[in-house]
C-alpha cells in the first residue's frame, strides 16, 4: 500500500491537523519510507497467532464507581485558554 | 565539600543521614551547578526558590528514616507537578499548570525528596535525540554539539553534568536506556505496571513506563524502591508487595544463566560495541555466571511493530489536545473545526504530527486489520520469544544502542535512521519486561557506550544484582572536560 498526497490529506482531516501545502511533499516522502519500513511485517505469516490484547498477566481492574475528588472546578478552569464565568468558551457552533 | 555534586545519590543520602551535611547546602551546590546549564539546555523550568524553601524546612526538623531525606531532584517535564508548569516539551502545553501531582513524583516527595526543576525532553517523549523539543536541543555533557539521546535527554544531560543527584525519566521504546547509554549513566525501565503511570503525560499507554536514571546501580536500586508501588489510580498498576531493592542488592551472581541473543549483532555496528559486549560476557563468566547462546528470532520485526503500535496509541492519547480545556489554542479559524485543526497544527511539532498521522492511518477504516492487528500479532510473537528464552536463562545481555552519541542534526532529516537508534531497546517495551543500561566503555571518539541487561517480568532485583556485579568489574570512569562551564 502506498501513501500519496490524497491519503495524507484524508488522514490529516481525520486527525484534525491542518497540513501546510508546502510541507505535504516532504511529509509524503517521509511517511512513504516509514510505511515501507513497517510493511516488513508482511513477510511474517501470522495466520495462527492471536493478537496481543494486554501485556499484563492479570486482567484489568475496575474501580468502584464513586466520587473521590471534585470541587475543583475553578482550579480546572484556570488552565482554559478562554472561559466565561464557569464555562469553557469555544467558537460558535450553532447559527 | 566542593565535589559533593559529583558523588552518588547513595553517598549524599548517607552524609545527610550522618548529619555531616545539611539539605540546604546540598541544594545550593546543585543550584550553583544549574547556573551553568545555558549551553546544555537541560532545564525547562527551574524551581530554585521552592527547593531552598523545602531544604530549609527539612533541616529544621530532619526526618531521616526515609529513602531520600532532604534530596533535591529535577525530573523529566513529562511528570505532572502540582502548581509547576508541565510542558512535555511541547508548545501545546507551554502554559499548562497541573493542579495535581503524578503518583511517581508524589512517591519521591513522600520519601523526603523535593522538586529541583523540570527537565527538557523530546516533544511528548517522541524522539531519540532530544531534537524534537519545543524548548530547543539539549547537548550532551560528553561533547559539545552531540545529542544526549532521547526522549529523556534533559534528564540524562542534567544527571551526567551533576545538575541533579538523580532523576527520573520515562521509557516507551528506549527513552531512559538510550540517553543513559549516550551519557555514561545508569537507566532502568521497570516491568510494565511496576511504576504508576498516573499523572504522566501519556504517549503510548501500553508501552510507557517511568524509571530511575542514576550515576550508579546502587542509586538505581534506591530510586526504584522509592518509585515502585501499587496505585489504584492506574488500572494497569501491578498489586504486589514492595521490595527492598537497595537493601537486598548483592554482587553475588554465581550460577545465574545469562543469554546472548545472536540477533542483536547488526551490520555496521562499531567494533567497540562488539568488544564491550565480549567484555561483558567475560566479566559475567568471571563472576560465576554461565553464558548461554540464545535466539530471539523476531527481533528484526520489533521496530516495525513499534512504529505501528506506538503511533496508534499516541494518535488516540493526543486527541485530547483540542485547545478547549487547557493548553495552547490558535486564534486562527472561524469555526470550531478550524479552531481544532489550527490549534493542533500550530501546537504540535513535526515529529508529533508525523506520528499522529501514522497512528490515525493505521487505525483508520480499511487499514486497521492490515496494520494494527498485524502488529499486535507480531507483538505476541516477540513476547513469546522472550518467554521461551527465560525458560533457559535468568537474564539477557545485549548492547544498549547500535552506536554512541551522534552530532546534532546528523539524523534529523531521516526518520528511519533516527528510529534505528532504538533497535535494541524497543523489544523490551513490546514485551513489558524490565531492562537496565549501564555504562560499559567508550567508542573511538571516547563517547560512552552502554550494555543492556534484560530480565523477566518483576525480576528487577536479579537484574540490579547482575548490573551491580558487572558495574563493579567494568569500573567505568566518566571523564568530562566540562566544556559547558567554560
Distance from CA of A50 to the nearest CA of B (A): 6
pTM: 0.97
Picking from B103, B357, B418 by the largest number of A CB atoms within 10 A of its own CB, the best residue to mutate is B357
Q: Is B301 on the interface with A (CB under 8 A)?
A: yes
Which value, in Å, is the radius of gyration of the alpha carbons in chain A?
Answer: 23
Contact criterion met (CB below 8 Å) for A89 and A77:
no
Residues 127-166 of B with CB under 8 A from A: none
How far does the CA of residue A68 sit from the closest CA of chain B (Å)? 11
Q: How far is A1 from chain B (nearest CA, A)?
A: 10
Q: Does A30 touch chain B (CB under 8 A)?
A: yes
pLDDT beneath 70, residues of chain A: 1
For Cα atoms B305, B209, A41, give the angle at the middle one, nearest 5 degrees: 5
Is the Cβ of A53 closer than 8 Å to some Cβ of chain B? yes
* Sign, CA torsion B354/B356/B359/B361: negative
Write the DSSP string, B300-365.
GGHHHHHHHHHHHHHHHHGGG-SSSSSS------SSHHHHHHHHHHHHS-HHHHHHHHHHHHHHST
DSSP string, A10-70: HHHHHTT----GGGHHHHHHHHHHHHHHHGGGGGS--TTPPPP--SSSSPPP---S---S-
pLDDT of residue B2: 55
B76 catalytically annotated:
yes
User: Given this structure, which CATH class describes domain B4-257?
Assistant: alpha beta
Tens digits of pLDDT across chain B (486 residues): 558 999 999 999 999 999 999 999 999 999 999 999 999 999 999 999 999 999 999 999 999 999 999 999 999 999 999 999 999 999 999 999 999 999 999 999 999 999 999 999 999 999 999 999 999 999 999 999 999 999 999 999 999 999 999 999 999 999 999 999 999 999 999 999 999 999 999 999 999 999 999 999 999 999 999 999 999 999 999 999 999 999 999 999 999 999 999 999 988 888 999 999 999 999 999 999 999 999 999 999 999 999 999 999 999 999 999 999 999 999 998 899 999 999 999 999 999 999 999 999 999 999 999 999 999 999 999 999 999 999 999 999 999 999 999 999 999 888 888 888 899 999 999 999 999 999 999 999 999 999 999 999 999 999 999 999 999 999 999 989 999 998
For residue A4 the three cell numbers come to 500519496
From B249, B245, B281, select the one nearest B393 (Cα to Cα). Answer: B281
Write the residue in A37, A50, A58 that is nearest to B304 by C-beta: A37
Crossing angle of the two packed helices B23-34 and B48-60, in degrees rounded to 10: 170
Q: Can you give the residue ranges of every domain in chain B? A: 4-257
Amino acid at each position: 500500500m502506498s501513501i500519496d498526497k490524497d491519503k495524507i490529506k484524508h488522514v490529516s482531516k481525520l486527525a484534525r491537523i491542518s497540513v501546510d501545502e508546502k510541507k505535504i511533499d516532504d511529509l509524503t516522502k517521509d511517511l512513504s519510507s516509514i510505511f515501507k519500513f513497517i510493511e516488513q511485517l508482511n513477510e511474517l505469516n501470522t495466520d495462527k497467532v492471536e493478537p496481543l490484547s494486554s501485556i499484563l498477566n492479570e486482567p484489568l481492574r475496575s474501580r468502584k464507581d464513586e466520587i473521590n475528588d471534585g470541587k475543583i472546578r475553578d482550579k480546572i478552569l484556570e488552565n482554559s485558554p478562554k472561559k466565561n464565568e464557569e464555562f469553557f468558551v469555544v467558537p460558535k457552533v450553532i447559527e | 565539600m566542593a565535589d559533593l555534586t559529583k558523588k552518588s545519590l547513595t553517598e549524599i543520602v548517607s552524609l545527610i543521614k550522618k548529619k555531616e551535611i545539611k539539605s540546604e547546602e546540598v541544594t545550593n551546590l546543585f543550584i550553583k551547578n544549574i547556573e551553568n546549564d545555558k549551553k546544555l539546555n537541560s532545564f525547562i523550568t527551574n524551581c530554585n526558590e521552592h527547593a531552598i524553601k523545602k531544604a530549609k524546612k527539612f533541616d529544621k526538623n530532619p526526618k531521616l528514616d526515609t529513602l531520600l531525606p532532604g534530596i533535591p531532584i529535577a525530573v523529566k517535564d513529562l511528570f505532572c507537578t502540582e502548581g509547576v508548569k508541565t510542558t512535555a516539551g511541547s508548545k501545546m502545553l507551554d502554559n499548562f499548570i497541573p493542579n495535581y501531582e503524578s503518583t511517581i513524583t508524589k512517591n519521591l516527595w513522600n520519601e523526603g525528596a523535593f522538586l529541583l526543576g523540570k527537565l527538557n525532553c523530546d516533544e511528548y517523549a517522541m524522539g531519540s535525540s532530544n531534537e524534537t523539543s519545543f524548548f530547543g536541543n539539549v547537548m550532551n555533557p560528553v561533547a559539545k554539539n552531540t545529542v544526549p539521546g532521547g526522549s529523556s535527554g534533559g534528564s540524562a544531560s542534567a544527571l551526567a553534568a551533576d545538575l541533579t543527584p538523580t532523576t527520573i525519566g520515562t521509557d516507551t521504546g528506549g527513552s531512559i536506556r538510550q540517553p543513559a547509554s549516550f551519557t555514561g549513566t545508569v537507566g532502568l525501565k521497570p516491568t510494565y505496571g511496576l511504576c504508576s503511570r498516573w499523572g504522566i503525560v501519556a504517549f503510548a499507554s501500553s508501552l510507557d513506563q517511568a524509571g530511575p536514571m542514576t550515576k550508579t546501580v546502587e542509586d538505581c536500586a534506591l530510586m526504584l524502591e522509592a518509585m515502585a508501588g501499587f496505585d489504584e489510580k492506574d488500572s494497569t498498576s501491578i498489586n504486589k508487595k514492595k521490595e527492598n531493592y537497595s537493601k537486598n542488592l548483592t554482587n553475588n551472581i554465581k550460577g545465574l544463566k545469562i543469554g546472548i541473543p545472536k540477533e542483536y549483532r547488526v551490520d555496521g555496528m562499531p567494533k567497540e560495541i562488539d568488544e564491550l559486549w565480549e567484555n561483558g560476557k567475560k566479566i559475567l563468566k568471571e563472576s560465576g555466571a554461565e553464558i548461554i547462546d540464545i535466539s530471539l528470532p523476531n527481533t528484526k520485526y520489533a521496530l516495525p511493530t513499534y512504529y505501528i503500535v506506538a503511533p496508534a496509541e499516541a494518535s488516540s492519547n493526543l486527541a485530547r489536545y483540542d485547545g478547549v480545556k487547557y493548553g495552547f489554542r490558535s486564534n486562527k479559524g472561524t469555526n470550531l473545526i478550524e479552531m481544532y485543526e489550527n490549534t493542533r497544527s500550530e501546537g504540535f511539532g513535526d515529529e508529533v504530527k508525523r506520528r499522529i498521522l501514522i497512528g490515525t492511518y493505521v487505525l483508520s477504516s480499511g487499514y486497521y486489520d492490515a496494520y494494527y492487528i498485524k502488529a499486535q500479532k507480531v507483538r505476541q510473537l516477540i513476547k513469546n520469544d522472550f518467554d521461551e528464552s527465560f525458560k533457559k536463562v535468568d537474564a539477557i545481555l545485549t548492547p544498549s544502542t547500535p552506536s554512541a552519541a551522534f552530532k546534532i542534526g546528523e539524523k534529523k532529516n531521516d526518520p528511519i535512521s533516527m528510529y534505528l537508534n532504538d533497535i535494541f531497546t524497543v523489544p523490551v517495551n513490546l514485551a513489558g519486561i524490565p531492562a537496565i543500561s549501564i555504562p560499559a566503555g567508550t567508542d573511538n571518539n571516547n563517547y560512552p557506550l552502554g550494555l543492556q541487561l534484560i530480565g523477566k517480568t518483576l525480576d528487577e532485583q536479579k537484574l540490579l544484582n547482575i548490573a551491580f556485579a558487572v558495574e563493579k568489574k567494568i569500573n567505568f570512569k566518566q571523564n568530562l572536560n566540562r566544556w559547558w562551564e567554560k
